[in-house]
Amino acid sequence: MDFDRRDFLKIGAAVTAGAAIGPVASAMTGAEEGKRTGKRWGMVIDADKCSADCTACVDACRTENNVPHFDDPKLDIQWIRKIAFRPKGIEGAAERTFPAMCFHCENPPCAHVCPVAATFVRPDGIVQVDKHRCIGCRYCIIACPYKARSFVSSHVAPKEGDNTDVPVRTHGVVEKCTLCAHRIDKGEEPACVEACRKNATGAMVFGDLNDPVTEASALLRTGKARQLRADLGCEPGVYYMGL
């Protein structure tokens, strides 16, 4: 076979182009390759069951996680909050509410932008902030499309009556819902879900979304639950019904 200089250059160019394009192409198709398997903690919230005047989940979260209260609404820290809305297209529809917290996305923008890798995703799908490492730059607050994050703007010292399982957060870090990871590690469900089931209507269902036997995954299979702003591609782990 004749292998002249022209052939050599052709093959060389082809190999170089392949090496350059290959990883890019696989990264672009990576999003469609399927969701992560294994444990995936998440929640299904039925907005039809959520009553507008109930704050059981919010109160339980504040107590469980020692969330400080600042009077200035700009500085106040909210791990979970009630969002009010009116259904579209219905005349005189009553105002309804649903709770919203960190959605523990599978593609969390907050973790992607963190310059010190303080925000990370645990293998079970919980997005966590390592407050030891957080430098308080607040990129993540800007990146999060669901406004789930808060900045601790002044120091709140540990005090009597705090839940000793959860450290308080010092001035200058960003905090958010941890999905009560400390309770999950003990085999319990998050405080908001427990409060909703015991003191309210049980609108919140917590469980492993990848495990077919859990109630949460059964609700997902009904096809009625959907993510908020699924078009953003963050793959939230919190689904809503009745919205």
Candidate residues 120, 141, 145, 224; the one interacting with another protein per rule CB under 8 A: 120
Q: How far is the CB of 207 from another protein (least distance, A)?
A: 18
Q: Does 49 interact with another protein (rule: CB under 8 A)?
A: no
Q: Are 77 and 70 in contact (CB under 8 A)?
A: yes
Sign of CA dihedral 130, 132, 136, 137: negative
Phi-psi bin for 175: left (phi > 0), alpha (psi -120 to 50), beta? beta
Nearer to another protein, 59 or 124 (CB): 124
Nearer to another protein, 82 or 122 (CB): 122
Q: Does 131 interact with another protein (rule: CB under 8 A)?
A: yes
Q: Distance between CA atoms of 204 and 46, rounded to whole angstroms?
A: 6
- Regarding beta strands 41-46 and 238-241, do their DSSP bridges make them parallel or antiparallel, or are they unpaired? parallel
Stretch that binds another protein, among 12-20, 68-76, 129-137, 209-217 (CB under 8 A): 129-137
DSSP classification of residue 71: S
Q: Are 27 and 125 in contact (CB under 8 A)?
A: no
Nearer to another protein, 165 or 215 (CB): 165
Candidate residues 23, 115, 123, 187; the one interacting with another protein per rule CB under 8 A: 123
Distance of CA 183 to the CA centre of its chain: 17
Candidate residues 82, 122, 138, 197; the one interacting with another protein per rule CB under 8 A: 122
Candidate residues 185, 188, 211, 215; the one interacting with another protein per rule CB under 8 A: 185
Stretch that binds another protein, among 26-34, 96-104, 121-129, 214-222 (CB under 8 A): 121-129
Q: Does 215 interact with another protein (rule: CB under 8 A)?
A: no
Nearer to another protein, 168 or 180 (CB): 168
Whole-angstrom distance between the N-terminal and C-terminal Cα of the chain? 69
Q: Does 164 interact with another protein (rule: CB under 8 A)?
A: yes
Count of CB atoms within 10 A of residue 139's CB? 17
Q: Does 187 interact with another protein (rule: CB under 8 A)?
A: no
Phi-psi bin for 136: left (phi > 0), alpha (psi -120 to 50), beta? left
Give the closest residue to 41 by CA, choosing from 124, 105, 122: 124
Give the interface with another protein as residue ranges (CB under 8 A): 120, 122-124, 128, 130-132, 155, 157-158, 162, 164, 167-170, 185
